[in-house]
Amino acid sequence: MAYTFMVIHHPKPEHYEDLLRGMTEMASSLAGKPGFIDAGPWPEVDGDRIVGISRWASKQDFFAARPPGMAAPAATVHEWETRPREVFHLHRD
């Protein structure tokens, strides 16, 4: 089974670059974790959202390796964002 964690961020304009940099650093920190395939931020082409995508061999690998703050409850509004994140847990057999 393959597992993908996806989160849509709604950054405040003054923190857009901060969020993008933090997401890039988080993706780099995941390299070498068991089951990790790839990760990174995907800025929206004609908008202000940033989509974070990480791919894993399994959901168990993701939850074992995720750093604090990754997959925070959807109702949480981070100080750099304008509204709660939209979180998706996706799998494919």
Which tens digits make up the pLDDT trace of 42-87?
999 999 999 999 999 999 999 999 877 666 666 778 899 999 999 8
pLDDT tens figures, 64-75? 998 776 666 667
Quote the pLDDT of residue 67. 73
Per-residue burial over 12-47, b = 16 or more CB atoms within 10 Å of its CB, e = otherwise: eeebbeebbebbeebbeebeebebbeebebeeeeee
Answer yes or no: pTM beyond 0.85: yes
Name all domains of the chain by residue range, CATH numbers in brackets: 2-92 (3.30.70.100)
Quote the pLDDT of residue 74. 63
